[in-house]
Amino acid sequence: MTTALDKIGGKTVAISSSNASEGKSTTSVNIAITLSQLKKKVIIVDTDIRRGTIHQKFKLENGAGCCEILSGSAKLEECIITHSPYLDIITHGKNLSESSEIFDSSLFEEFLEALKAKYDYVILDTPPINIVSDTLVISKKCDGLLLIIRSSFTTYNDFKKSLDITKELNINLLGVVLNAVKSETAAYHKYGINKKYGYDYYKSNRYGD
């Protein structure tokens, strides 16, 4: 079965949001599960090495994962967790780093190539794009970026900042997903993000999905 990602030529897809709590990780999981239900071989990789939540969403222990692979302390095969016949998972791992350097490396490129050879789709859950630079580095090495915005939460200015930086760096923006739309407001948001909402957003140093 052909999917929308097939049509746009996306095999390695980075998923992010402008800021925290906009649903990027939940959307990453939902996309991965949906594709696997179409009998596509999928792996979801938690590249949010500071505050990854993919292991929590699948109720897994956060053992050796992405950080260990990219630091060379673990092999790829040792870190893959099988969730179902068509869906595998790599958690962010325990060897946390405060630098995006592990993604701006030949090891990360080799990591992606190995996953592309093994899977139909590689879904990478990344940090919020306006908070840390990791997502920008990761997205440049992927087929594209999918940006998540949350209805009545994401501000126009934050969304525009995300779009501007993707354009500036020539990142292939595959699309934008508007989530958490209530049925009574769906028509209001139909044509895109609105400048009049979301300015009560509280920014915290702690971020999550």
Report which of 4, 19, 12, 9 is spatially closest to residue 141, judged by C-alpha positions: 12
Question: What pLDDT score was predicted for residue 91?
Answer: 97
Which one has a higher pLDDT value, 107 or 203? 107
Helix 106-118 vs helix 134-141: crossing angle, to nearest 10: 50
Mean model confidence pLDDT for the chain: 83
**pLDDT above 80 for 32:** yes
Helix (H, G, I), strand (E, B) or coil at 28: helix
Q: How far apart are CA 209 and CA 196, in angstroms?
A: 23
**pLDDT above 50 for 90:** yes
Q: Specify the residue for token string 């779009």.
A: 163
Report which of 176, 164, 138, 132 is spatially closest to residue 23, judged by C-alpha positions: 176
Question: What pLDDT score was predicted for residue 204?
Answer: 32
Report pLDDT digits (tens) over 131-179.
888 999 999 999 999 999 888 778 889 889 999 999 999 999 998 888 8
Which whole number is the average pLDDT over 191-208? 34
The CATH number of the structural domain formed by 8-179 is 3.40.50.300
